C-alpha cells in the first residue's frame, strides 16, 4: 500500500496513516472486508517503525472501522450508515482549474437520472428494444471467438477495423443498394465517433455547419462543443427545403452539411428521392462535403425505399456513417463510416490518434454473429415488431392526446408531436414525470432551443404494445392535469 506520507510535516506519521485509511473507509473507497497490509509489511514499505503502523491501526480499531482476525489479518469493517457513501461528497474542494470547467447541468442530466425512477415508462431513449437481441447466440459467438482466435482477439486490431467484419458490412450495404469495398470502410466506436472524427478533421471552431432543423441532439452537442456555428435548414414532410438550402449555401459558405435522409432523428421524416439528388448536386456545385448519418436506414415499415446519398455519389462527395446500435445493441459500440479518396486515409489517421482501434474482441464477436442471412432475418423480425408498435403508439396518441398533432413515420424509431400552445414540452415533462412517464422535449433538437418548446419526441420501438398503451395513457392524464 503506497500511502503518501509527508516526513517533514508536524503531523505525526501514525496520524497521517490513520487519516488516510479513515478517509478511504468512510468514503467507501476501501470497501468492507478489504484486508489491510500486515503492520510489519506496511512498516517495511513505508520505511518506518512497526510500532508507528500499530498505533495507527489501534486508533482505527478503537473507532470500529477495522478489526483484527487472529491468524488471518486486519480487515475493514462495514460502516454503520443507512445511505450509500458518496464518493464525490468526501472531497473537500476541487482545484480551481476544475471549478472553472463549465457545468453540464440542464435537460441531459435530468433525462439520464430519469430512468432511475421506479415504474417509470421512458419514451426518451434513442434505441430499439434490447430484448429483441438474441443474447444466447451472441454469447456463443463470443465464446467461439475466444476459443478460435485466443489471445489475438484481445490484442489491438487494425485501426481500419477487423477485415472480415468490413467484408460483412460490404455485403450488408450491397444488399441495401450501396456498393462499396472493405478498403473504404472504417470501423468506429459507434457512429457517434464517426461524427466526431469527420468534424474534427474537416472543421474548426467558428466554421459553419448546416443541419436539418431540428436534428439529432448528440450531434448538436458535438458541434457546440467544437465551437461551430450551427445553421438549421428548414424542413417539411419530405425533408429539407432545397431552395432554402441553396440560399444558406450562398449566404454562409458552410464547411459541412450534416443530414439524416432516412427516418430522421427526431422527426422520423424520410427525404424524397428528388431532394436527395438535388442535395447532392448542390453540395457538388458549392463544393461542400456531405455527412450522411444513416442510423436507422433499414428500419423501413412502409413506403418505397430510397437510395442512400452515398449510393448516388459519383465518388468522394459523401461520407456515410451507420451503426449496429439501433439494429442490434448500443453497448457493442460498433459503428462504421464509408469514405473514399484522401479523406479516408486522414480519417483512419484521426481514428488512430483518438483510440488506436475499436474493441477487437467485440468486432470479431459481431462478425461471427452477423452473417448476411442472420442480419436480414433479424431485421425482418425487428421491422414487424416495430411497425406494430408504431401503429399502437399512433392510435394511443390519437385517443389520449387528441389536441396534439403527430406525424406517421414510414420507419425508424420515433414519432414527433406538436403540442397545442397551451403547454410547453418542458411543462408537460414535469407533469408527466409525476405520472410515471417521460419523453424527450423538443428543445434538445433545435440549434435555437426555443424553437422546440412545443415539440416532443417519443420512441415507439423500445417498449411492448401494452407498455406503450399505458405510457401514452399516463401522458394523456398529465396533459389534462
Please give the residue ranges that form the binding site for ligand PMP (CB under 6 A): 126, 190-192, 216, 218, 260, 265, 293, 295, 323, 325, 330, 335
CB of 156 to ligand PMP, least distance (A): 21
Closer by beta carbon to ligand PMP, 18 or else 293: 293
Nearer to ligand PMP, 141 or 191 (CB): 191
**CB environment 41-58: b (16+ within 10 A), e (fewer):** ebbeebebeeebbebbbe
3-class SS of residue 478 = helix
Residue 328 C-beta: closest distance to ligand PMP, Å: 10
User: What is the number of alpha carbons within 13 Å of residue 29 lying toward its C-beta?
Assistant: 11
Ramachandran angles phi, psi of 103, nearest 5°: -80, 150
- Helix 273-285 vs helix 242-252: angle between axes, to the nearest 10 degrees? 20
Separation of alpha carbons 204 and 202, rounded Å = 7
Cis, bond preceding 214 (omega within 30 deg of 0): yes
Minimum CB distance to ligand PMP, residue 335 (Å): 4
Give the residue with the Cβ less far from ligand PMP, 192 or 424.
192
Nearer to ligand PMP, 52 or 188 (CB): 188
Quick one: 178 or 260, whose CB is closer to ligand PMP?
260
| 30 and 19 Cβ atoms separated by less than 8 Å | no
The least CB distance from residue 212 to ligand PMP, in Å, is: 11
Q: Closer CB to ligand PMP, residue 323 or residue 363? A: 323
Query: How near is the Cβ of 115 to ligand PMP at its closest, in Å?
Result: 15
Q: Of 191 and 360, which has the nearer Cβ to ligand PMP?
A: 191
**Min dist. Cβ of residue 428 to ligand PMP (A):** 22
Q: How many CB atoms lie within 10 A of CB 125?
A: 17
Q: Between 334 and 479, whose beta carbon lies closer to ligand PMP?
A: 334
CB of 187 to ligand PMP, least distance (A): 11
Taking CB atoms, the residue at the shortest distance from ligand PMP is 190
Q: For ligand PMP, which is the closer residue by CB, 249 or 332?
A: 332
Smallest gap from Cβ 361 to ligand PMP, in A, equals: 18
Q: Alpha carbon of 156 to those of 139, 253, 355: distances in Å?
A: 21, 40, 10
**Smallest distance, ligand PMP to C-beta of residue 440, A:** 11
Taking the CA atoms of residue 389, residue 392, residue 397 and residue 400 in that order, the dihedral angle to the nearest 10 degrees is: -130
The conformational region for residue 25 under phi > 0 = left, psi -120 to 50 = alpha, else beta, is alpha
Count, residues in the chain: 481
Report how far apart, in Å, the C-alpha atoms of 387 and of each of 124, 161, 383, 410 are.
Answer: 18, 33, 6, 9
Q: Grid cell 478511504 — which residue?
A: 24
238 burial class (0-12, 13-18, 19+ CB within 10 angstroms)? Answer: middle
Nearer to ligand PMP, 52 or 265 (CB): 265
Helices (H), 286-371: 309-312, 342-355, 360-369
Question: What is the rounded (10 degree) CA torsion for 352, 355, 357, 363?
Answer: -150
Tell me the three state secondary structure of residue 318.
strand
- At closest approach, how far in Å is the CB of 339 from ligand PMP? 16
Amino acid at each position: 500500500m503506497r500511502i503518501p506520507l509527508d516526513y517533514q510535516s508536524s503531523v505525526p506519521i501514525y496520524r497521517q496513516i490513520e487519516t488516510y485509511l479513515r478517509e478511504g473507509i468512510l468514503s467507501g473507497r476501501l470497501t468492507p472486508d478489504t484486508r489491510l497490509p500486515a503492520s510489519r509489511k506496511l512498516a517495511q514499505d513505508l520505511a518506518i517503525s512497526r510500532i508507528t503502523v500499530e498505533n495507527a491501526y489501534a486508533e482505527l480499531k478503537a473507532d470500529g472501522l477495522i478489526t483484527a482476525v487472529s491468524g488471518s489479518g486486519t480487515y475493514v469493517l462495514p460502516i454503520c450508515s443507512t445511505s450509500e457513501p458518496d464518493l464525490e461528497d468526501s472531497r473537500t474542494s476541487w482545484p480551481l482549474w476544475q471549478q472553472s470547467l463549465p457545468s453540464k447541468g440542464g435537460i441531459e442530466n435530468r433525462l439520464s437520472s430519469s430512468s432511475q425512477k421506479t415504474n417509470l415508462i421512458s419514451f426518451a431513449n434513442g434505441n430499439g428494444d434490447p430484448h429483441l437481441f438474441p443474447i444466447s447466440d451472441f454469447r456463443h459467438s463470443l465464446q467461439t471467438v475466444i476459443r478460435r482466435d485466443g489471445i489475438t482477439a484481445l490484442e489491438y486490431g487494425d485501426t481500419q477495423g477487423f477485415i472480415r467484419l468490413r467484408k460483412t458490412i460490404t455485403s450488408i450495404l450491397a444488399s441495401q443498394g450501396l456498393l462499396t469495398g472493405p478498403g473504404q470502410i472504417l470501423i468506429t466506436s459507434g457512429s457517434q465517433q464517426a461524427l466526431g472524427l469527420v468534424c474534427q478533421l474537416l472543421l474548426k471552431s467558428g466554421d459553419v455547419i448546416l443541419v436539418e432543423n431540428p436534428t439529432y441532439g448528440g450531434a448538436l452537442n458535438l458541434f457546440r462543443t467544437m465551437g461551430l456555428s450551427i445553421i438549421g435548414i428548414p424542413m417539411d414532410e419530405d425533408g429539407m427545403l432545397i431552395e432554402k438550402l441553396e440560399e444558406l449555401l450562398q449566404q454562409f459558405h458552410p464547411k459541412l452539411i450534416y443530414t439524416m435522409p432516412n427516418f430522421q432523428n427526431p422527426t422520423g421524416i424520410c427525404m424524397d428521392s428528388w431532394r436527395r439528388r438535388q442535395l447532392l448536386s448542390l453540395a457538388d456545385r458549392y463544393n461542400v462535403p456531405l455527412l450522411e448519418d444513416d442510423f436507422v436506414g433499414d428500419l423501413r415499415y412502409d413506403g418505397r425505399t430510397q437510395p442512400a446519398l452515398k449510393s448516388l455519389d459519383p465518388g468522394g462527395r459523401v461520407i456515410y456513417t451507420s451503426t449496429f446500435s439501433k439494429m442490434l445493441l448500443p453497448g457493442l459500440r460498433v459503428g462504421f463510416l464509408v469514405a473514399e479518396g484522401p479523406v479516408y486515409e486522414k480519417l483512419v489517421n484521426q481514428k488512430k490518434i483518438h483510440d488506436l482501434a475499436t474493441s477487437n474482441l467485440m468486432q470479431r464477436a459481431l462478425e461471427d454473429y452477423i452473417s448476411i442471412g442472420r442480419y436480414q432475418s433479424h431485421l425482418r423480425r425487428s421491422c414487424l415488431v416495430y411497425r406494430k408498435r408504431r401503429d399502437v403508439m399512433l392510435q394511443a396518441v390519437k385517443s389520449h392526446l387528441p389536441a396534439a398533432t403527430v406525424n406517421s413515420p414510414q420507419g425508424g424509431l420515433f414519432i414527433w408531436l406538436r403540442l397545442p400552445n397551451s403547454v410547453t414540452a418542458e411543462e408537460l415533462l414535469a407533469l408527466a414525470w409525476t405520472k410515471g412517464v417521460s419523453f424527450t422535449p423538443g428543445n434538445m433538437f433545435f440549434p435555437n432551443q426555443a424553437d422546440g418548446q412545443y415539440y416532443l419526441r417519443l420512441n415507439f420501438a423500445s417498449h411492448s404494445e401494452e407498455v406503450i398503451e399505458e405510457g401514452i395513457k399516463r401522458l394523456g392524464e398529465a396533459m389534462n392535469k
